[in-house]
Structure formats: C-alpha cells, structure tokens
Amino acid sequence: GGEPEKNKFIFIGDYIDRGTLSVETILTLYAIKINSPKTFVMLRGNHECRQLASYFNFKQEVLHKYDESIFTLFMESFDALPLACLLNGRFLIIHGGVSPELKSVEDINKINRFQEPPKEVIFWYSPKYQYNNEAGICDPTYMPNTVRGCSYYYGKEAVNQFLEENQILSIIRGHEAQLDGYKMHRWGGPGVFPSVITIFSAPNYCDVYKNKGAVIKFYDNTMDIRQFVCNPHPYLLPNFMNLFTWSIPFLCEKVTEMIYHVLNAKPKGSSAPSAIEEVSKANPVATKKTEILRNKVKSICRM
C-alpha cells in the first residue's frame, strides 16, 4: 500500500475481536492515524461497540493486558470514529450498507455517533444474496436478518434507488467474511459496474475459514482488487493463559502418578512386599495411615 504520508488509506471497521492481538492491532492503527491524520481514515464497524467487545474476547484481552479504565477509553475512542465516507464523490464506503432510514448521504451526518450504536444502525445491514440469490431480489425491500437475529437484509431495489437519488456509482462495504476476500454484487446485470462490493481483509478468519483477504486499490480512476493469504502468527495459549498456569494440571498429574508408583514399588520379579508394607504390617497405626495416603493418591490420579 505504500507510506501513509504519500497514499490515502480507508479502513471499513472491525479492528477488534479478530484473535488475541486486537490491542496491538488497534494501537498500531491509532499510531498511524495520529501521524497521518489526513490520509489515514478509520470507519466504525459493528464490533467497535461495548456489547460485542464484551461478548467476544476484546474486553477480556484488555482486562488481561491492562484494566477496566483502558477498556473504557477504547470504547470512548470508538464512539468518535466516523460511520462512512464518500470517495471521489462516486463511492459510498460504509461498514454495512443502506437502511430504511437512510435516504441520502446527508442523513448519515444526522446520526449521533458519539454513543453506543443500536443494532439497527447502518453498519449492521447486509445485502441479500444468500441461497443462490445472485439477482439481489429482496421482498419486501428490507427483510429481517434471521441469521444475525438483528437488523435487515437489503436488495437491488433499495440499493439502486439510493444510488440513483444520490448520484453514486456503488457502495463499498465490509461486515461479512468472503472466501475470495471480496464479492461483486452485480445486480445491474453482466457488464454493469457492481452496485455493491463487499471487501473482507482478514485472511483465514478466526484461523478457521481458510479464506483469502483482499483490498481495493484506486489509482488513475482505475479500481484494482488485490488478494492475499494469511501469514503464520505467534502461538498463544487459549484464554490468555501463561505457561505456568497452563502446565499446572499436567505437572500435578505426573507428580501424583510418581507418588503412586513409589508407594507401590516392589523389586522387579519379586512377590515380596515393599518396604513400606513391611513397616506397616509391624505397626497397625502406620498401616492405616499408609492406606489413607494410598487412597488419596489414587483419588488425585483419577481427577
């Protein structure tokens, strides 16, 4: 992509909840934003809110690395992120897409973004293309999103009406993982510029999807999509555990196993009782204590 001082960058949201290095990711982006405020644009995604940050792992990560006050500061910074931007007067870049309340680009400026956003806000909406619906048919114009359990789907009717009334060529959005890193919603037919372009830049999403990542590059009025694959990342233990905490159960198991075998040690090939058993038989009290100890060790070994 080049240097931010010489090239403009636009990010469409969802910077957190993408693994165990979300803190490092967002701090790196903020550092670049501070150094290049006019050429580095960060839009807000649906994960940049208190509800999802707490439901997924971002809050847990911040509390593990810092404390509650730092998490609060992150949330306040997310409240200041813009919701959309207009590129070259022809492309509306937004995390989710159009909504019934959104009639014009100016309507976005009327939204109070300095708060916890409701689920019905624009970056939760998704294009209706599932189930082989490549034609963008959505009846009614906005359908409830039963997969996410909130917000709505939109189709070509809602999009085309918005594009025509606002003299915009296309909507560029994120919000959903794509196998190839992007998807062209060609609801105007073959040979017509896509009404909606979904771009997804997290390759091998959650280390499970095995998808490619992609970015859109504009230069000399030409749009180019660049795909990329994931790189190996540092191995981290689950739930931010350290090595000592993670290994304690295994150490306990091995130690109790060793004690168990010591208590039952006998000369190889001999039926003679062990030294502990010989002493125990000579002392009834010792016999009872030995049996209690043996039972405790067996119980621990079974845990």
pLDDT in tens, 247-268: 888 888 888 888 777 766 555 5
**Which residues are known catalytic residues?**
47
Q: Which residues neighbour 161 within 8 Å (Cβ) at sequence distance 6 or greater?
A: none
Residue 189 confidence (pLDDT) above 80: no
pTM for the whole thing? 0.80
pLDDT digits (tens, 9 = 90+) for 7-51: 999 999 999 998 889 999 999 999 999 999 999 999 999 999 999
Q: How far apart are CA 174 and CA 200, in angstroms?
A: 6
Closest residue by Cα to residue 148 from 177, 122, 130, 126 = 126
pLDDT at 179 (0 to 100): 94
pLDDT at 236 (0 to 100): 79
Angle between helix axes 275-282 and 284-302 (nearest 10 degrees) is: 140
DSSP 112: -
Q: Where are the beta strands (DSSP E) in 155-195?
A: 170-173, 182-185
Residue 205 confidence (pLDDT) above 80: yes
Q: Which residues neighbour 252 within 8 Å (Cβ) at sequence distance 6 or greater?
A: 300
Q: How far apart are CA 194 and CA 176, in angstroms?
A: 17
pLDDT digits (tens, 9 = 90+) for 113-131: 899 887 667 788 999 875 4
What tokens does 8 get?
């403009």
Q: How far apart are CA 99 and CA 77, in angstroms?
A: 25
pLDDT digits (tens, 9 = 90+) for 142-178: 988 888 878 889 999 999 999 999 999 999 999 999 9
Peptide bond into 140 cis (omega under 30): yes
Residue 296 confidence (pLDDT) above 80: no
pLDDT at 248 (0 to 100): 85
Q: Which residues pair with 126 in a beta bridge?
A: 153
pLDDT at 206 (0 to 100): 84
Q: How far apart are CA 44 and CA 38, in angstroms?
A: 17
pLDDT at 271 (0 to 100): 58
pLDDT digits (tens, 9 = 90+) for 54-105: 999 999 999 999 999 999 999 999 999 999 999 999 999 999 999 888 899 9
- Confidence grade of residue 283 (pLDDT, cut at 50, 70, 90): low
What tokens does 5 get?
């001082």
